[in-house]
Chain A
Amino acid sequence: MTTISNNRRRRKISPTTAAFLIIITIILVLGLLWRDAAANILWKILSPVFSARNSAAVSSVGFFGQFKDNAKLAEENRALKEALASTTALVADRNFLYTENLSLKARLGRLVGDHVVLSAVLLRSPGIPYGTLIIDIGTKNGVRVGDYVSSAGSTYIGRVTEAYETTSRVTLFSAPGQTYQGLLRGEIPLALLGQGSGSMTGEVPVGIDVSVGDVVALPSIMPQFVAKVSAVVHEEGQSFQSIYLTLPVNPLQLRFVEVHTR
């Protein structure tokens, strides 16, 4: 009778598996070391492709829009005109106050105003995971990591977290795990925690009156709105109330953003 020793019985890793494991380890190490450089090259190639895709999408919407029901379009047109009439006065009022705000600050020796660069959004959720945006300007256009990004004017939505040559990655304030300090109604300090999909959460003591629609701004000399309260939850016996917030704009519908370069 022949017996097989324990050493022989033990299965050894085949050369193919070993080679595979070595290659994967090398790929991971190289990926960690040169991820940004590789992303820079890839986005240089992909950026024109996505610009073309977005242009084609806009054209196709215009083309297929012709086949919509005329009565429905007329109704939509009427509703939009009404909405526009009611907001035009508000916008004019807001612009007047904003200019006055800036001139008052200038008189007190604070000359404020960033250099703003308009950018098209190449990729947004759900085309990209993690609550980030890819925009079509990069270091060539003066974008740097840390620059604030707004949807328009003083409505801020996130920050540039990676700047490549021709594109940049913007992390929304609402991205999962992101924490920011904000001021509720411009005066009550509040820590905001991103939850993804344009929503955030925070806690304030029970005694503070918070209502739906209150705005949260970044602590700055300039008004930088980042969120709007959408719900307030207070459980009996708790000393804090939870507030749920949303970004002022829907990140799924963003087509253009402004980058405030320093």
Chain B
Amino acid sequence: MKNNDLFTLLCAFILMSAGFAFSFWPLVPAGMALLVLYGHTALGVTAGLLFDIVWGAPMGILAFLHFPFLLFALLCVLIRIVALRVILPRGDLDAL
């Protein structure tokens, strides 16, 4: 594991656990986004699913989503794919 990977994992873990432990949920999707956008797709998606199970389904107009955090993680996967293939020049692939 590279140092960069370790740092990303550590930051994401701190963000998610802080959001959960210190009662501020927006930190959780921030941590998930960090995980997925830096290539730890499986971890990010698993975290999304776990938080969806723990927090339950949304209510009101977003009720149809059922698994909003899992879907958010998948959206991040899509953003990463688009960013790598379309937006970023080929030279920057290695940088990521």
Contact = CB atoms under 8 A, between A and B. Distances in A.
Contacts of B62: 176
B20 to A, nearest CB: 7
A200 to B, nearest CB: 12
A53 interface: yes
| B41, B54, B67, most chain A CB atoms within 10 A | B54
Given A31-B67, A38-B53, A126-B24, 15 more contacts: A28-B67, A31-B52, A32-B66, A42-B50, A126-B23, A128-B25, A130-B56, A132-B55, A132-B56, A162-B56, A176-B59, A176-B62, A177-B60, A178-B60, A196-B60
Interface of B: 20-26, 41, 45, 49-50, 52-63, 66-67, 70, 74
A43 interface: yes
Secondary structure dominating the interface of B: helix
Nearest to A40: B53
Nearest to A123: B23
Interface residues of A, number: 31
Given A28-B67, A32-B66, A130 B52 contact: no
Secondary structure dominating the interface of A: mixed
Interface string A188-219: 00000010100000000000000000000000
Interface in A35-50: 35, 38-39, 42-43, 46
B9 to A, nearest CB: 20
Given A27-B49, A175-B60, A129 B74 contact: no
Contacts of B66: 32
B36 to A, nearest CB: 12
A24 B53 contact: no
A119 interface: no
Contact of B25 (A35, A43, A127, A178): A127
B70 A27 contact: yes
A130 B53 contact: no
A24 B56 contact: no
A131 interface: yes
Nearest to A196: B60
Contacts of B61: 176-177
Q: Which 10 A-B pairs have the closest CB atoms?
A: A177-B60, A127-B23, A176-B60, A38-B53, A177-B59, A39-B53, A175-B59, A130-B59, A130-B58, A129-B25
